[in-house]
A and B are shown apart, each in its own frame.
Chain A
Amino acid sequence: MRKLWALIRLDLQILLNAMHAGSAKRPWAAWVLMAVPGALMAYLGTLMGWSLATVMAPVGVLDLLAPLLAVLCAAMNLVFTLFAARGLVFTGRDSDLMLSLPVPTLWVVLGKLLALMLENLLLTVLWMVPAGVAAALSGGGAAICWPTYLASLPALALLPTTLGLAGGWLLALASARVRRQALVGNLLSMALMIAVLAASMQVNRLAALMLENAGSVRALLHGWLLPAGLFGSAAAGSWPAAAGFWAICLGLFLLVSVLVSRQYQRILAGLAGRNVRADYRLSALKASGQFRALYQKEWARYTHSNIWLMNTAVGPVLAVGGCVWFAFSAEGRILAAQMGPEAAWAGAALAGVVLSMCCTTCSSISLEGKNVWILQEAPLTARALFGAKAALNLTLNIPAGFLCTGLLAWACGLSAGQTAAMACALTFSALWTALYGLAVNLLLPKLDSPNDTVVVKQSAASMAGIFGSAGCVGAVSGAVWLARSLGLTACVWGASAALCLGCCALWRWLCTAGMARFGRL
């Protein structure tokens, strides 16, 4: 057990180390940046608990509240765990070392999973406790017995860990069996993301559906959704149900862990297997410039890194999807009719915030990792180096911004001037996001991560980049909204000018102090 505990501590260290800003001078930075997603989870949990309890209490279906909260919590955790499991369990750079240690492979796998589970537990607590408090305060107190409710939360955290491991294993297996691993991995992950997004769009109908089909839902909770049913009974105060819930969750967790550990070496060997051909024939090579070479290299890394692509592609997909909904759905058309052009501006502000969460540059320098020497020893200018990295980010955000502009303008009948203002604002906010991300990554570099997942999902720079750029764009949008009495179009042009000035200042910093910082990495 000492060895298992040592492995758990090591893997926790790997997860926590990702949040460290890379400097002993700022140990507080990791904790501050962990507070941001934590606060977000608590906010969402509170919102869910309150709104669901408000709807369910009057019609006497409070017994469905706790299972529903548990399912939503597990689903959210699963999305994070799927990629984290793949990164930490299947593609970590410490695999050779781990497998050469005199410990059973099961211990190695359990160490990684339990570290992941502890992270899930934190998110589960941050979601479920505020949700339970909010539900109790809004009339749902009868559904929550706190001792059994809290005692069941660790078991609830095991579920997404188990499902994430199984899903990550299937993703890794499928990818390993095909030649173009990166492409297959990306396609599978894209399909999963679209499925999760489509399902999440239906969340707002869940309460209504449950009211209409309470009997069927209860039957499900005694059927294939038994774990959720047991959690509901445990939350209501049943210790036997809590024990049953623990038994199922722990049993599944151990079963999957044992199965994976038996195949672990084969899985890792398949993923890391060398596939070098010896029949390449050199043909005439083409030449291009520094900028294009660096940009193509960024694209190659982006499409090869499943986690980087999936973590950033969500922004443009959500923004464009939301605008498509607004332009073509009945609810969207009603909204457009009621609010007029203001609906378009509100939509643009929302799209801008969502797009700004697509910040590839905030991980771009950290992802260079041990390859950073290649760029440091090359005769590169700041324009080529940083310009190429920013260009990748702009390639994702600007076309999405134009699409959103077109859809919103068409749906609300905006004039050419209004459309141009909107397009300009979204373009400069995309530029701001790209340059801001670079600056953040230079200030908070993380070059020693064991895998891409840790850099993209858990590093201080990625947190500060994603939430910071969204915060900036949100603040600008808020300022425009507050000043709308001066004329929305004029305010939007003003916001574009402000963002443009900000971009100029950032670019100047990147070309001077930023380049010096890069040289010191």
Chain B
Amino acid sequence: MLTIEHLSKTYPGGKRAVEDLSFSVPTGEIVGFIGHNGAGKSTTLRCAAGILPFDSGQILIDGHDIARQPVAAKQAMAFLPDNPDLYEFLTGVKYLQFIADLYAIPADVRTRRVARYADAFDLTGALGSPIGGYSHGMTQKLALISAFIRQPRLLILDEPFVGLDPQAAFTLKELLRQLCRDGGAVLFSTHVLEVAEKLCGAIVIIQNGRLVRSGPTAAVIGDESLEQVFLDLAAEGPERSREGAQGHA
């Protein structure tokens, strides 16, 4: 569903955010994307979403090249950045209407989906109020609803659990699993390693813009916890970054 090949991105000023990164997200899989602060996770996700241009490499979404066929690729996916900023001057329902129009969702279908996901996240009653009055958690929920109503084949989420109450976090996990059972795929970044351990079928760990470990969750973790694996990798530092580029667990 998502294939990233030899992705490299350097910001103006020389900061190399991502270097020769390659991994894939197969259909039906939830893949956790882990890394320290500034490792290049958000950069990678934004490149995959077609928001950030990259220097070299290729990103394919459902067979469409994000650089050459952006409209087709974006039609198949939904992306949420961390701490998403939404249009504060719109009400919740008007924002969902706006998104539904951009993705050409028929009227009856969108009504059904909005009702389903707004109810799932317990946000229906607040949909008539301006987004400017929402709390951070409510905004996060609305952003998630706007992603799910599109029924994307690929869902890319940057730290989606931040700001969600426990009920909403549980709901999100269930919806992600359902999306994968229905033939979709999910790539999300998180710092909550316990969630990644329980939810993800595969893990990708990057460090200083390079891939250091990837594979099925059980294989990546081994006999330890994901937290211990992460800390061990962090302690090994840049050396590991270079070795990891050559071979993964």
Contact = CB atoms under 8 A, between A and B. Distances in A.
Contacts of A508: none
B74 interface: yes
Given A274-B134, A275-B130, A300-B89, 19 more contacts: A280-B92, A282-B127, A284-B108, A284-B111, A285-B100, A286-B97, A287-B101, A289-B101, A289-B104, A293-B98, A293-B101, A300-B90, A369-B85, A371-B85, A373-B85, A374-B86, A377-B79, A519-B53, A519-B70
Nearest to B97: A285
B126 A285 contact: no
A490 B104 CA distance: 46
Interface in B88-136: 89-90, 92-94, 97-108, 110-111, 114-115, 118, 124-130, 133-135
A290 B75 CA distance: 13
10 contacts: A277-B125, A280-B126, A280-B127, A284-B107, A288-B101, A290-B102, A292-B101, A293-B98, A297-B98, A379-B75
Given A279-B125, A282-B124, A287-B110, A378 B51 contact: no
Contacts of A278: 125-126
A290 B104 contact: yes
A218 interface: no
A215 B87 CA distance: 57
Contacts of A378: 74, 99, 102-103
Interface string A369-383: 111011011111100
Interface string A285-305: 111111011101100110011
A416 interface: no
Interface of A: 182, 273-282, 284-290, 292-294, 296-297, 300-301, 304-305, 369-371, 373-374, 376-381, 519-520
Given A282-B111, A282-B114, A374-B87, A276 B100 contact: no
Nearest to A296: B98
B133 A377 contact: no
- Pairs A-B, 10 closest by C-beta atoms: A280-B128, A293-B101, A304-B89, A278-B125, A370-B85, A287-B107, A379-B74, A274-B133, A276-B129, A379-B75
Contacts of A276: 126, 129, 133-134, 138
Contacts of B127: 280, 282
Contacts of B50: 376-377, 519
Contacts of B106: 287
A379 B71 contact: yes
B163 interface: no
Contacts of A371: 85-87
A288 B102 CA distance: 9
Contacts of A284: 107-108, 111
B49 interface: yes
A287 to B, nearest CB: 4
Contacts of A182: 89
Contacts of B89: 182, 300-301, 304-305
A278 B134 CA distance: 11
B201 interface: no
B128 A277 contact: yes
A161 B204 CA distance: 56
Interface string B49-82: 1110100000000000000001110110011010
Interface in B33-57: 49-51, 53
Nearest to A292: B101
Nearest to B131: A276
A519 B46 CA distance: 11
B165 to A, nearest CB: 15
A291 to B, nearest CB: 9
A366 B61 CA distance: 29
Nearest to A274: B133
A290 B74 CA distance: 14
A373 B51 contact: yes
A380 B107 CA distance: 19
Contacts of A279: 125, 128
A297 B104 CA distance: 16
A484 B106 CA distance: 55
A520 B94 CA distance: 27
A379 B101 contact: no
A277 B127 CA distance: 8
A289 B106 CA distance: 10
B74 A280 contact: no
Contacts of A273: 133
Contacts of A381: 71
Between A278, A289, A305, A371, the greatest number of chain B beta carbons within 10 A of the residue's beta carbon is seen for: A278
B48 to A, nearest CB: 10
Nearest to A516: B53
Contacts of A274: 133-135
